A = this chain, B = another copy of it.
Amino acid sequence: MPVTIKDVARAAGVSASTVSRALASPDLVHADTRERVRRAVAELGYHPNRAARGLITGRTGNLGLLVPDLANPFFPGVVKGVQARAREFDYAVFLADTDEDPAAEAGLVRNLSKQVDGLILCSPRMSEPEVRALSGDTPIVLLNRRVGRVPSVTVNSVDGLRHAIGHLTALGHRRVAYVPGPKVSWSNRERLRALRTATAEAGVELVETGNVVPRFSGGVAAADQVLATGVSAVIGYNDLVAIGMLSRLAARGVAVPGRISVMGFDDIVLSEMVSPALTTLAQPKEQTGRAGVDLLLQLLADPGHPIQRRELDSHLMVRDSTGPAPHP
Check if A305 is an interface residue, CB within 8 A of chain B: no
Are the C-beta atoms of B270 and A247 separated by less than 8 Å? Answer: no
Which of A7-15, A36-44, A71-79, A165-173 is the interface stretch?
A71-79
- Chain B residues, Cβ within 8 Å of A52: 51, 55
For A50, list chain B residues within 8 Å (CB).
Answer: 114-115
Count, chain A residues at interface, CB 8 A: 45
Nearest Cβ on chain B to A293's Cβ, whole angstroms = 14
Interface residues of A in 1-48 (CB under 8 A from B): 2, 47-48
Find the residue from A73, A77, A83, A95 having the highest chain B CB count within 10 A: A95
Contact of A47 among B60, B114, B274 (CB under 8 A): B114
**Is residue A254 within 8 Å, beta carbon to beta carbon, of the partner chain?**
no
Residue among A50, A60, A75 with most chain B CB within 10 A: A50
- Least Cβ distance of A6 to chain B in Å? 14
List residues 232-273 of chain A with CB under 8 A from any CB of chain B: 243-244, 247, 250, 269-270, 272-273
Given that A80-B97, A94-B92, A94-B94 are contacting pairs, would A71 and B269 also be in contact in the complex, using a CB cutoff of 8 Å?
A: yes
With A55-B52, A60-B51 as known contacts, state yes or no: A80 contacts B71, CB within 8 Å. yes
Q: Among the listed B49, B80, B110, B269, which residue makes an inter-chain contact with A114, where contact means beta carbons less than 8 Å apart?
A: B49
Cβ contacts A268-283/B at 8 Å (1 or 0 each): 0110111100000000
Report the separation of the CA atoms of residues A60 and B2 in the bound assembly, to the nearest whole angstrom. 14
Copies of this chain present in the complex amount to 2
Q: Min CB distance, A275 to chain B, in Å?
A: 6
- A216 at the B interface (CB under 8 A): yes
Check A121 for interface membership: any CB of B closer than 8 A: no
Q: Does A96 contact B (CB under 8 A)?
A: yes
> Quick check: B273 and A250 within 8 Å, CB to CB?
no
A49–B70 Cα distance when bound, in Å, is 28
Residues of B contacting A97 with CB < 8 Å? 79-80, 83-84
Q: 18 A-B Cβ contacts within 8 A?
A: A47-B110, A50-B114, A50-B115, A51-B54, A55-B55, A71-B73, A71-B77, A71-B269, A73-B73, A76-B76, A83-B95, A92-B115, A216-B272, A216-B273, A244-B273, A270-B273, A274-B274, A275-B275
- The 10 tightest CB contacts between A and B, nearest first, are A95-B95, A70-B76, A51-B51, A83-B97, A49-B114, A51-B54, A216-B273, A70-B80, A76-B76, A80-B97
